[in-house]
Amino acid sequence: MNAFFEHHKDSIQFSYRCFDRILLNGLIQPFQQPERVLGFFNVYRKGTRVTRKVLTGIADQFQYWLKNRSEKWGAPVIEAPDEQRRDAFVESYLRDCPADHVAVILKAREPARILVAIGAENNNSPHLEFKQRWVQSVQLLSQR
Amino acid sequence: MFVRVCPYFPFSARVCLNQHHWLAIRMTEEGIDFQQSTNAFLRCGNPTRLQELADSLTTQDLLRCGQKWLATFTPFITDQERRQAGCQHRLFFSQVEYCDNLIFHRRAAVEELTQRLLDLNRNIGQPKKITTIFGRKITKEYKGKLQSVIEDLDLPNPVIRSHYGHGFAKQYVRDDRLLRTEPATNNVYDYGVNKNVENLPQLRTAMSEIIDNYHNVQQDVLETFIDRGQLGKLAEPTVLPSGRRIPGLKLDHPRQLAVMHSLVRFSNIAAGGKFTTADLYNPALEVLGLTGSQYSLASFRYDLSKLRAKGLVEKVPRSRRYRLVGKGYSICVAFLKLFEKIYAPLTAGLLVPFRGDHALAEEKRCALDRLYQRICDDLDELFRAVGLKVAA
C-alpha cells in the first residue's frame, strides 16, 4: 500500500489494479526466414516450389475459408470504419455474442511484413524476401 | 478480445485482450454484483475478490486463449505440422497498459484532489522524478521523450501524462469518481522485462511498482509545505466593513515585529492572556530601541490594528483589554522566528560573510554556523528542485 492510498483511504470506496489492455504480437518462428520457409515446403508439402502463384494461392485460400466461416459462425464481414473508434463500432456486435464465439470480422488496410516472391510470374525458383506492404488484414472479435 | 491476422505468409498476428471484460465475465460467473462502465468498474460487491481475480490472470491464460484462436485462424497449417515443425504462433508483448483504479465515495473529493494534483504535479516530468517513478536511471545516452504534458482528451478532466522511453504514465479522472493511474508502454524492455509473454508476472510487478512510485511522489508533493496563498493573504491590506483600509502584515517590518514581540511575552500568559495596549507599549519600545516621542502609543495602536484586522488579536468585550485568538500566537512566533533566526542571519551570511569563515575547516566552525551553512546549501537544493536558479 503506497503513501497516497494510505493518506486518502477514508475517501476511497474501493480500489483495484488490473491490466487494461494487453496487445500481443504473434509470430510463427519457423516462417521468419525464407530458407526455413523453403525447408517447411520441402518437408511437409512434398517439395512444392514457393512461387508467387503459390503464395497468392495461400492468401486466396484464406479468403475463401474466411467467407465460409463467416457464414458458419454467423459473424458478418465488415469494413472497419475510418471515422469511428473500432471499440465503439463493434460494441453492439459483442454485446449479443456468447462467450468464445466470433462476433464480427473486420477488414482493414494495414501495413504488415509479408513474404514476397521476386521474379517473373512463371519463374519456378524465385527469390524470397520479406517486405513491408499495405495489406487487407482481418480482425476477428470475440467475447472472452 | 480481438485477433488480427495477416492473411499473407508468414501469418503474423496480433492478439488484444482487455482484462476489464475478462474480469466482468469471471465476476458474472461467480455471481458478484458489479457495475461496469466500459473499461472500469464503478461498483463491486466484493472488491477483495475482484483484486484476486485480477491477479489470477496468468501466462497460461494468455497462451491458452491466444493459441486457440490463432490455430483456428491459420487453417493453412495442419495440427500435425504445428506439433512436428513447431509452426504455431509465439506471443510477445507489444503494448501493455496496467491501471490502478481508486473509486472515491464522493465526486467532490476527487475533483478537489485532482485540481490540487494538476496544480502541484506540473513538474513531475523532470528527469529526476521520472527516474523515481520508473525506477530506471536517466543517463546522457537516453534518447526517448522526457516530459510531462497536461492533455485535454475530450474527457471531463485533463490527463497528466509523463513520458518515458516508449511509454508513459498517465493519470486522469473518469466517470466522475474514479481516479486512474496507468503506466503504458510499447516496449516492455523499458521496464527491464523481456518481451516473451511468459514474463507476465515480472511485468505486473514492474508496472505495479511504477504506480506505487508515482503515487508516493505525488503524496510527497501534496504533503510538502507549499504556499497556498495564506502568507499572501496576511500581507494583503484588509478593508473593514466601514470601508477603512488597514495595511497587511509585513514580515520584515521592524515596528510590526516589535508589536509581535510584545504580544508573545510570557507575562501576558501569566496575566490570563489578556493585556492592555499600555502593557505592550513599553516592551515594544525596548525592542525597537526608540523613545516615546519617536514611536507614539497611537502608532503602536495603529500597528496592533493590523493584527486585529487579520483576526489574530481581538478586543475583549466591555473592556480595554485585548487577547490573542486562533492561530495568533503561532503566527507571531512564526514571523519572529523566520525573521530573527532565518532571514536576518542568512541574509547577513550571504551579503556580508566573514571572509575567514570559508577558510575554516568544517569541524572548526561553531555548531550554529554549520547549521546555517547547511540551510544555505539546502536552500540551493530547494531552488533547484522548484526550478529557481541558485543565486550566484
Q: What is the DSSP string of B1-48?
A: -EEEE-SSTT--EEEEE-HHHHHHHHHHHHT--EEE-SS-EEEES-HH
| pLDDT tens string A36-62 | 999 999 998 888 888 888 899 999 999
How many residues in chain B? 392
Residue whose C-alpha cell is 519456378? A124
pLDDT at B175: 85
Residue-by-residue DSSP string for B265-332: -HHHHHTTTEE-HHHHHHHHHHHHT--TTTS-HHHHHHHHHHHHHTTSEEEPTTSS-EEE-TTHHHHH
- The answer to whether the Cβ–Cβ distance between A137 and B4 falls below 8 Å is yes
Contacting residues of B for A138, CB less than 8 Å apart = 4-7, 73
Q: Residue A72: which residues within 8 A CB-CB, separation 6 or more?
A: none
Residue whose C-alpha cell is 485477433? B3
3-state secondary structure of B282: helix
Among A50, A53, A38, A45, which residue's Cα sits nearest to residue A126?
A50
Contacting residues of B for A63, CB less than 8 Å apart = 7
How many residues in chain A? 144
3-class secondary structure per residue, B337-378: HHHHHHHHHHHHHHHCCCHHHHHCCHHHCCHHHHHHHHHHHH
Give A28's strand partners.
B89
DSSP state of B121: G
Give B90's strand partners.
A27
- The answer to whether the Cβ–Cβ distance between A37 and B9 falls below 8 Å is yes
Give chain A's residues under pLDDT 70: 143-144
Closest residue to A20, CB basis, from B19, B69, B220: B19
Give every strand in the sheet of B322-324, ordered side by side.
B274-275, B322-324, B313-315
How many A/B residue pairs have CB atoms within 8 Å? 241
What is the phi/psi pair of residue B118, to 5°? -60, -45
Contacting residues of A for B44, CB less than 8 Å apart = 14, 16
Among B330, B8, B219, which residue's Cα sits nearest to residue A9?
B219
Among B40, B176, B165, B52, which residue's Cα sits nearest to residue B110?
B176
Closest residue to A11, CB basis, from B20, B104, B204: B104
Q: Residue A71: which residues within 8 A CB-CB, separation 6 or more?
A: none
Separation in Å, CA B354 to CA A111, B357, B365, B371 = 71, 6, 12, 16
Give A130's strand partners.
A115
Show the cell assigned to A21. Answer: 489492455
Closest residue to B15, CB basis, from A24, A28, A143: A24
Contacting residues of A for B3, CB less than 8 Å apart = 139-140, 142
How far apart, in whole angstroms, are the C-alpha atoms of residue B299 and residue B284? 11
Helices B200-223 and B127-134: crossing angle in degrees, nearest 10, is 130
How far apart, in whole angstroms, are the C-alpha atoms of residue A103 and residue B21? 15
Show the cell assigned to B357. Answer: 569563515
Contacting residues of B for A140, CB less than 8 Å apart = 2-5, 69, 73
What's the gap in Å between the CA of A140 and the closest CA on chain B?
5
How far apart, in whole angstroms, are the C-alpha atoms of residue B275 and residue B282? 13
pLDDT at B392: 37
Start-end of H helices in A1-144 = 3-8, 34-44, 52-73, 86-95
Residue whose C-alpha cell is 464522493? B106
How far apart, in whole angstroms, are the C-alpha atoms of residue B222 and residue B226? 8
Give per-10-residue mean pLDDT for chain B (392 aa).
86 90 90 89 92 93 88 88 87 93 89 76 54 62 64 70 79 88 88 90 91 78 61 82 86 86 74 81 89 91 90 88 81 80 75 68 71 73 63 41
How far apart, in whole angstroms, are the C-alpha atoms of residue B235 and residue B161? 36
- The answer to whether the Cβ–Cβ distance between A23 and B81 falls below 8 Å is no
Closest residue to B13, CB basis, from A4, A13, A26: A26
Choosing among A6, A7, A20, which should be mutated to test the B contact, i.e. which has the most B CBs within 10 A?
Answer: A20
Among B214, B50, B204, which residue's Cα sits nearest to residue A19?
B204
Contacting residues of B for A8, CB less than 8 Å apart = 102, 104, 113
pTM, two decimals, is 0.65
3-state secondary structure of B240: coil
What's the gap in Å between the CA of A97 and the closest CA on chain B?
12
Start-end of H helices in B136-276 = 200-223, 230-235, 254-263, 266-270
Task: State ipTM.
Answer: 0.87
pLDDT at B167: 82
Separation in Å, CA B91 to CA A29, A133, B23, B35, B120 = 10, 22, 22, 32, 41
What is the phi/psi pair of residue A24, to 5°? -115, 140
CB A136 within 8 A of CB A106: no
- The answer to whether the Cβ–Cβ distance between B94 and A141 falls below 8 Å is no
Q: Residue A81: which residues within 8 A CB-CB, separation 6 or more?
A: A89
pLDDT at B137: 63
How far apart, in whole angstroms, are the C-alpha atoms of residue B141 and residue A124? 49
Sequence-distant contacts of B37-45: CB under 8 A, at least 24 apart: B37/B174, B37/B175, B38/A87, B39/A20, B40/B101, B40/B174, B40/B175, B40/B178, B40/B180, B41/A16, B41/B101, B41/B103, B42/B103, B42/B175, B42/B177, B42/B178, B43/B103, B44/A14, B44/A16
Show the cell assigned to B254. Answer: 521592524
What's the gap in Å between the CA of B193 and the closest CA on chain A?
15
Show the cell assigned to B46. Answer: 466484493
CB B192 within 8 A of CB B112: no
Among B14, B15, B54, B17, which residue's Cα sits nearest to residue B34?
B54
- The answer to whether the Cβ–Cβ distance between A26 and B90 falls below 8 Å is yes
Contacting residues of B for A97, CB less than 8 Å apart = none
What's the gap in Å between the CA of A54 and the closest CA on chain B?
10
Choosing among B1, B9, B35, B209, which should be mutated to test the A contact, i.e. which has the most A CBs within 10 A?
Answer: B9
